[in-house]
Structure 1
Amino acid sequence: MSASEEDGQEPSDLRPEVPHPARMYDYYLGGKDNFPADRAAAEQVMAISPRVRLSAQANRAFLQRAVRYLAEQGVKQFLDIGTGIPTAGNTHEIAQKVHPDARVAYLDNDPIVLVHSRALLAGASHGTATVVQADLRDPAGILADPEVRGLLDLGRPVALLLFAILHFVDEESDPYGIVRTLVDALPSGSYLALSHGTADFLSPEQAQRGPAVYCAATERLTLRSKAQVARFFEGLELVGPGIVTVPLWQPEQPEREGDALTGIWGGVGRKP
């Protein structure tokens, strides 16, 4: 009997023959939780846009800096949606170094991610954290989820984390409405931290060919401009330095050549 059968969960269909964005991202980060189809698709993307691997690594480092910053502002509750396959320096690990009692709810709709995340949280001591199966396209369902409501007190400040997930939500699914619904449900003093892929630094050919690779994957890719990403922060107070490419958000090292051209915008905003 598999672990998923033992804990009452349905076994996951890994579909190793179909490229998967979470496994492709794992490959960009140098992880091992991926299959040949994922690596082949990721190599296609990197051939089109050679900075993709560096961008993924910079995005991961941005997440860690942002979570540390938010914890240092006194935030002890984190709603991390679209968490991806766990790797070193996960949200709960960063937050609980600052506040051992920090609470983290990881949400993802992907069975592959859920299996890996549950395995991580079933291991060594991890404080207060949980993994919930949920879809970003259903924000009302997320907010009403009993496990989320049982862990997080939505009457107290919450950090909403949307890292490298909104570019898998197309315009027809109303990504701005989704974010607005989630932010509106959080109290004053809460934060939104997000990162989002962009074609702002790509040639027209690259901007077409890169997302086209994802058409054969389980999720499609919608790249957005800086102005479009800024719309997610409407009504919020941007934390300095504002919306920048992810290596340039409160960096811990001197700017390197190419940092300003990294194809991911990132920012953190506070709800007044």
Structure 2
Amino acid sequence: MSDFRRVPMGVDPYKPSSARIYNYMLGGKDYYEADLEYAEQVLRVAPDSKALARMSRRFLLQGVEVAVGAGVCQIVDVGAGIPISPSVYEVARKVEPSVRVVSIDFDPVVHAHATAMLSGAAGNTPMLADLRQPADMIDRLSSEGLIDFAQPVAVLIVGVLHFIMDEENPGGILAELRAAMAPGSYLVVTHATSESDSRFVRQAMSATKGSSAVPALRSRAEIASYLEGLETLAPGLAPIQDWLDDDLPATRVEILGCICRKS
């Protein structure tokens, strides 16, 4: 676990953080005792959470390789979380050393960690911003000279959309991003579905009731409607296991992933 002597300014190590809990699930070191205790509670309700977190991470990095391999040299990682190796930046720069990455999160705790950890990493910029305000996010990326939307960009939205409530208009958010992206851009996205194991859904809703982590599970058809106007690469909108090379087992919660291209 992280050394308390190195706690970034503005971070409370005694209050659980969803980003640090996710870091633990991925096998990282940037969590504290409070995060570990909460993570163990989550695992008692959803024992395959670690496996899902790691599969989602593999899918994310596969999307990076696809986009950068196609010539995209700028990446916006939305809901980036606490940096962990191999990172989006590391994977992208192995393919193309000139790639620029902007790591966006709306959580000040994450931003504090990322700012401390990414200091001195050229072309890797943390930004405190909220996907639910896409116009502001796009404007800042452009006006601060971080992303040139006249050129192709890869936008990564993994593990985020199912925390955008219906009233926050997830379809409209993606439509704004799609409109800003130049032809040749990529969108890498995941979303937990309402077709997941019904017992798990009930447990997850009960465990997260009243917190900021209540998911909005949606049908495959609704998720697909958010991607209209984009070319979906094979195997299309499918369980993330189908995108990975290994013969991976099904999990109680079904997470769909898709890598899309704007023509």
Q: TM-score, normalised by structure 1?
A: 0.86
One of 208, 211, 216 as aligned partner of 2:205: 211
One of 247, 257, 265 as aligned partner of 2:256: 265
One of 109, 115, 119 as aligned partner of 1:118: 115
Q: Distance in 1 between matches of 2:187 and 2:26?
A: 24
1:127 CA drift (Å): 3.6
Change (3 A) 1:260 1:214: closer
**One-letter code aligned to 2:221:** A
One of 148, 152, 155 as aligned partner of 2:147: 152
User: Residue deviations 1:213-242, cap 9 Å, x none?
Assistant: 233544432222322222221110001111
Partner SS, residue 145 of structure 2: helix
Change (3 A) 1:148 1:101: farther
1:94 CA drift (Å): 0.9
Q: Is the 8 A contact 2:21 2:35 kept in 1?
A: yes
Gaps of 5+ in 1: 6-10
Moved more, 217-226 or 47-56: 217-226
Q: Do structure 1's residue 200 and structure 2's residue 198 form an aligned pair?
A: no
Q: Is the 8 A contact 2:192 2:253 kept in 1?
A: no
Q: TM-score, normalised by structure 2?
A: 0.89
Partner of 1:89: 86
Partner SS, residue 151 of structure 1: coil
What is the RMSD of the two structures over their aligned residues, measured on CA atoms?
A: 2.4
Partner of 1:12: 10
One of 133, 136, 140 as aligned partner of 2:135: 140
Partner of 1:164: 159
Partner of 1:255: 247
One of 24, 47, 50 as aligned partner of 2:44: 47
Gaps of 5+ in 2: none
Q: Is the 8 A contact 1:170 1:222 kept in 2?
A: yes
**One-letter code aligned to 2:30:** D
Q: Distance in 2 between matches of 1:226 and 1:45?
A: 25
Q: Is the 8 A contact 2:239 2:254 kept in 1?
A: yes
Partner SS, residue 62 of structure 1: helix
